[in-house]
Amino acid sequence: MQTILVANPKGGSGKTTLATNVAGWLAGKRQRVALTDIDPQQSSAQWLARRPRLFPAIGTVGRDGESELRRLDPLWQVVDSAAGIHGDDLKQALKGADVLLVPVSASAFDIAATQRFLAIVAETKAVKKGRLAIGLVAMRVDARTHSAAELDVFLGGCAFPRVAQLRDAQIYVHCARDGASVFDLPRSRAEHDWEQWRPLTRWLARQAPRVERPA
Ligand SMILES: Nc1ncnc2c1ncn2[C@@H]1O[C@H](COP(=O)(O)OP(=O)(O)OP(=O)(O)O)[C@@H](O)[C@H]1O
Ligand SMILES: [Mg+2]
């Protein structure tokens, strides 16, 4: 099983949006996937509860995580984490992860918080030993703004790759409401967004050579 942790201690940086859409993409590729919500806010769990039955299935891992995981036996686990994650909780979450996706929104506060977070993450054993692949995802980007340009400069100077840039669009807000991912929507509505996701999904597939490739 490949575990994708989505984390950034900055509140509202886009963790749940990223986690739910990654899970939706994997499910759409007929991969067995579980979505684990370790945020007491339970936004991902609530999204999953709203997910229409006709959409590709995503498993859920509740409080009894270990035995639930054994029962579901997923190829992938996507973990949505809480704002403010730090200390032992962070260490524990990183220890169990193969991939870390870090959403970063375009603002000075988000950039500063992400910089501090990445400095902490870079010092962990898993990263030092090269066991954890880290990808940064620019979230809610409006390419016409100064803050988008500032985010660009920040990401360009980071030690970890930017694996996607997602636009600021209501489609994400609607998906959050409807228990959907952009991959559940018809091509006519979501094609532009699928294109923005392509570098991320390709990068993720490369991180999991032992798992059946979600082409
Ligand atoms: N690309 C986007 N375009 C428009 N709105 C977005 C986009 N990504 C996220 N949002 C919206 O931004 C808000 C914050 O996103 P989200 O809930 O995913 O962040 P979070 O990091 O999980 O927050 P928290 O720290 O509270 O868990 C939500 O209302 C979400 O719908
Ligand atoms: Mg969240």
What average pLDDT is seen over the chain? 93
Of residues 91, 102, 88, 89, the one with CA closest to residue 133? 102
Of residues 137, 141, 153, the one with CA closest to residue 101? 137
Q: Nearest ligand, CA of residue 44?
A: 2
pLDDT confidence of residue 67? 75
Confidence label for 68 from pLDDT (cuts 50, 70 and 90) = confident
In a domain, 195, yes or no: yes
Three-state SS for the chain is: CEEEEECCCCCCCCHHHHHHHHHHHHHHCCCCEEEEECCCCCHHHHHHHHCCCCCCCCEEECCCHHHHHHHHCCCEEEEECCCCCCHHHHHHHHHCCCEEEEEEECCHHHHHHHHHHHHHHHCCHHHHCCCCEEEEEEEEECCCCHHHHHHHHHHHCCCCCEEEEEECCHHHHHHHHHCCCHHHCCHHHHHHHHHHHHHHHHHHHHCCCCCCCCC
In a domain, 214, yes or no: no
Q: What gap in Å lies between CA 12 and CA 56, rounded to an integer?
A: 27
Residue range 88-133, pLDDT digits in tens: 999 999 999 999 999 999 999 999 999 999 999 999 988 999 899 9
In a domain, 211, yes or no: no
Q: Is the pLDDT of residue 214 over 70?
A: no
Residue range 28-42, pLDDT digits in tens: 999 999 999 999 999
For residues 69-76, give the mean pLDDT: 86
Q: Is the pLDDT of residue 65 over 80?
A: no
Confidence label for 71 from pLDDT (cuts 50, 70 and 90) = confident
Compute the distance from residue 82 Cα to the ligand 2 centre, in Å: 6
- Distances, alpha carbon 174 to alpha carbons 17, 37, 89, 171, 177, in Å: 11, 20, 31, 5, 5
Q: Nearest ligand, CA of residue 141?
A: 1
**What CATH number should be reported for the domain holding residue 41?**
3.40.50.300
In a domain, 182, yes or no: yes
Q: Nearest ligand, CA of residue 11?
A: 1
This prediction's pTM: 0.95
In a domain, 109, yes or no: yes
Length of the chain: 215
Compute the distance from residue 67 Cα to the ligand 1 centre, in Å: 30
In a domain, 184, yes or no: yes
For residues 68-96, give the mean pLDDT: 92
Q: Which two tokens stand for residue 188?
A: 């006519």
- What domain range includes position 97? 2-205
Count: domains in the chain: 1
What residues flank ligand 1, with Cβ below 6 Å?
A: 11-17, 39, 41, 43, 83, 139-140, 166, 168-169, 172-173, 176
In a domain, 213, yes or no: no
Which atom of ligand 1 is nearest to 39's Cα?
Answer: 27
- Distances, alpha carbon 143 to alpha carbons 44, 82, 172, 181, 200, in Å: 28, 28, 17, 22, 18
pLDDT confidence of residue 208? 77
Q: What gap in Å lies between CA 36 and CA 76, rounded to an integer?
A: 11
The rounded radius of gyration (Å) of the Cα atoms in the chain is: 16
Which atom of ligand 1 is nearest to 41's Cα?
Answer: 27
Compute the distance from residue 173 Cα to the ligand 1 centre, in Å: 8
In a domain, 210, yes or no: no
